[in-house]
Amino acid sequence: MNIICNPKRSEWAELLKRPYVDNKTVLESVQMILTGVRQHGDEALLSFIKKFDGVELEQLQVQPDEMAQSETQLTDSLKQAIQQAKENIDSFHRKQLVGKEVVETMPGIECWRKGVGIEKVGLYIPGGTAPLFSTVLMLGIPAKLAGCKDIVLCTPCNSEGQIHPAILYTAQLVGITQVFKIGGAQAIAAMAYGTAMVPKVFKIFGPGNQFVTAAKQLVQMEGVAIDMPAGPSEVCVLADESANPAFVAADLLSQAEHGIDSQVLLVGTSEAVVNTCIKEVAIQLEKLPRKELAEKSLSNSKAIVVENVENAIDLVNEYAAEHLIISCKDADTIADKITNAGSVFIGNYSPESVGDYASGTNHTLPTNGFARAYSGVSVDSFLKKITYQKLSQKGLQGIAQTVIEMAEAEGLQAHANAVKVRMSEPGFGEI
């Protein structure tokens, strides 16, 4: 990790920039895939699966017997862990459901808002270097709670045409039955356009590599909604002298092992804190199976020393991390001052991996600084909010002149007339 000591505030913006990636070639490749699927449907999908996954398939949808077999292929302890995570995630997200609350803005005028589940949603679940069955929970549970009618799940298969059993078991556990053996940009294309085998959806969710991310961005331009802009996963750890260096190192490495483009940032209140943590990183790194990936990620990562906690708070708010871990004394007080982050982990005993899997919060979060303006996935992400209003004669009479005055001032006479014609009705206002 590159160590920067007490940089000037004027240098922060440059220091905190995510690495620029020229994805022109990626966009061109993805556009070719999207065009192929849009024009040739399943034929293109099967061709891309053969090309990228090295397997010839006849059927894209996972069959019921494959779903059923997945349960027998997992250990009881893993199934119990998935079930425990499901319960926690369900408990947290269920509380996000809000009932109808009618507001009487004036006598006789009632307004309210109602959440309606998006009818058709698509979930993309990465399954390459790491089969992210936990993401099935993070997306499938809020989709079900929101009342989405059709949930389509796409995930890549291996060279034998099989999907990791943990993904299938988890899908079955949350009640998702439409699972397809499609990965990469072609999966996004299939869900965006629809084919004979794969249903078209209205909104697409889920993380992925640069090809998946580019595909989501491109189909969004064609009118298909997506969960959020996303890039490589990232963590920022804010540490002071009370931090446990072994804990901090483990948190940094848990992010770095995602991939070579993962972002890792350590912000320390002293050089001693930073140096101790980095030494511990080197020790733990040697024992990791994914050491090579983590090393490459760390080589592009930074450790920044600041003069005090106040500066540290300002710095991490400017960075707007996907995951922010506060390993400091008075961690709760610091957490209250955080304005930009996808998810915050407070104190020495709140590792990021708990939020990634099982505490209950969602791990599908904004990256690349988008936490300044975007929230992570929630039940709301799967809902449309429709507003309603109902006026009695008394209510219309009370607000009529306000509407007429405003409409005529804007030169929209027909708007004013929509009120006037009702007021001119015989007997209006007598009730």
Annotated binding-site residue? 233: yes
Q: Do residue 135 and residue 279 come from a single domain?
A: no
Residue 105 placed within a domain = no
Residue 1 placed within a domain = no
Q: Do residue 84 and residue 123 come from a single domain?
A: yes
Q: Do residue 353 and residue 406 come from a single domain?
A: no
**Boundary residue ending a domain (227, 248, 268):** 227
What's the start-to-end Cα distance of the chain, in Å?
76
Annotated binding-site residue? 258: yes
**Phi and psi of 374, rounded to 5°?**
-115, 150
The catalytic residue among 234, 257, 322, 352 is 322
In order of 16, 178, 376, the CA distances from 344 in angstroms are 18, 33, 11
Residue 13 placed within a domain = no
Annotated binding-site residue? 124: yes
Residue 385 placed within a domain = no
Range of the domain at 413: 392-423
Predicted local distance difference test score (pLDDT) of residue 242:
96
Rounded distance between C-alpha atoms, residue 210 and residue 376, angstroms: 19
Annotated binding-site residue? 209: yes
Instruction: Give the neighbor-by-neighbor strand order of the sheet with 103-106.
Output: 103-106, 109-117, 383-391
Total structural domains within the chain: 3
Q: Do residue 74 and residue 50 come from a single domain?
A: yes
Residue 135 placed within a domain = yes
| Catalytic residue flag (residue 363) | no
* Residue numbers in the chain where pLDDT is lower than 70: 20, 128-129, 430-431
* Residue written as token pair 């024009």: 39
CATH number for the domain that contains residue 266: 3.40.50.1980
Q: Do residue 290 and residue 155 come from a single domain?
A: no
Annotated binding-site residue? 186: yes
Q: Are 122 and 389 in contact (CB under 8 A)?
A: no
The catalytic residue among 323, 363, 425, 430 is 323
Q: Do residue 238 and residue 223 come from a single domain?
A: no
Q: Do residue 243 and residue 223 come from a single domain?
A: no
Q: Do residue 403 and residue 356 come from a single domain?
A: no
Residue 19 placed within a domain = no
Predicted local distance difference test score (pLDDT) of residue 181:
97
Task: Say which residues have a Cβ less than 8 Å from residue 18's Cβ, sequence separation at least 6.
Answer: 231, 232, 234, 263, 368, 369
Helix segments in 21-122, DSSP class H: 24-53, 64-70, 76-94
| Catalytic residue flag (residue 323) | yes
Which amino acid makes up residue 145? L
